[in-house]
Chains A and B, each alone.
Chain A
């Protein structure tokens, strides 16, 4: 399957340049299929799926289409995985923010995706360190505290959240103590980056 996919663009290009549209269609079809599958999976978990930004006419949407067209040529898309309209709304929650360009909203959506991925990776490492297979809120908070720029602006938010599940966290820590020893013996899961230095500060 993979070799065929790799060869097909080359063959199409050799035959005639017009085949690019077909390649774009294939990429789009694959993407739609994937999104559909993911949407179904998300629906099972959450019961509601909100894929599209609620704003009707937005230049960012036009940019998304341009991104899809460019994807065939460059093998990458500038289309963020987060709804740009919602990001824009969050940016405007502060009344001091009057106007925001689409490029600014798109840029923050892309950065937020990076930030989310980094925090998720750190949370998974925290869970693995305690021999946990399920990533929980306490692991997300631990990852946030371990990253200095993040801890700076999330300290108040994290403290507020910690008060409520304090008892649960205490129980988690108790179990984590024993699990910690086991975690040291076990290698980190594949795909996880070793960042022990960060957690030494937390310990």
Chain B
């Protein structure tokens, strides 16, 4: 069984986020957490328009998501280490979600990874071709499909899994948020 070692890298509480006195502390703080602006924006996008979010809630969310990143990374790294590999890759990350109990994340992440690798392949092919002639060709079926669910995609905003999940019913996809 994998040892779920916790990373206690937040030794000092986030007092005085605007610490103008200590430059090093500010830099360290910035490195440790995701930007509060990004976190706040995603929270706003997911909640009803009239919902208000206190700054303290955003700061707590910053802590939670940083712990999430370290937790998943640690699990993925453990798998890497056991297999005598040194570089954590996408498959390690996908396996980590399942191992840590985030079962709802495994399928969406595998689709995302598949889509990413497809794009990488297309980009490499286009780069080798020297010109984006066939790559730029319009795909009628794809364009038509894009036109239809455009409003849903717009409302979904940052949830890019509409296409990755390959689900025709966007509402169902939105309703089936993991948690």
- A residues neighboring B (CB under 8 Å): 2, 5-6, 9-10, 13, 17-21, 38-39, 42-43, 45-46, 48-51, 62-63, 66-67, 70, 72-83, 86-87, 89-91, 93-94, 96-101, 103-104, 106-108, 110-124, 127, 133-137, 139-141, 144, 147-150, 152-154, 156-157, 160-161, 164-165, 189-193, 195
Contacts and interface: CB of A to CB of B under 8 A. Distances in A.
Given A81-B38, A98-B87, A133-B50, 18 more contacts: A6-B150, A9-B146, A50-B38, A73-B142, A100-B73, A103-B90, A104-B92, A108-B73, A110-B160, A111-B72, A114-B177, A116-B65, A117-B46, A121-B179, A140-B57, A140-B60, A140-B64, A153-B100
Given A103-B89, A121-B177, A153-B4, A111 B97 contact: yes
Contact of A9 (B87, B143, B159): B143
B90 A101 contact: yes
A54 B140 CA distance: 38
A97 B143 contact: no
B88 A104 contact: yes
B51 A135 contact: yes
A80 B10 CA distance: 25
B37 interface: yes
Contacts of A99: 86-88
Contact of A73 (B4, B89, B113, B143): B143
A90 B101 contact: no
B145 to A, nearest CB: 7
Given A75-B146, A160-B13, A140 B61 contact: yes
A200 to B, nearest CB: 16
Given A10-B147, A107-B109, A83 B86 contact: no
Given A103-B116, A106-B116, A42 B40 contact: yes
Contacts of B36: 46
A100 B140 CA distance: 37
B153 A46 contact: no
A117 B177 contact: yes
Interface residues of B, number: 101
Given A63-B116, A135-B54, A100 B87 contact: yes
10 contacts: A20-B138, A50-B38, A76-B164, A78-B160, A82-B38, A93-B32, A94-B70, A103-B120, A140-B61, A189-B50
A136 B31 contact: no
B9 A94 contact: yes
Contact of A94 (B40, B55, B74, B112): B74
A18 B42 CA distance: 34
A53 to B, nearest CB: 10
Nearest to A90: B69
A118 B74 contact: no
B38 to A, nearest CB: 5
A114 B105 contact: yes
A193 B162 CA distance: 19
Contacts of A110: 109, 112, 160
B59 to A, nearest CB: 7
Contacts of B88: 91, 97, 99-101, 104
A111 to B, nearest CB: 5
Given A13-B140, A112-B69, A123 B100 contact: no
Nearest to A121: B46
Nearest to A24: B136
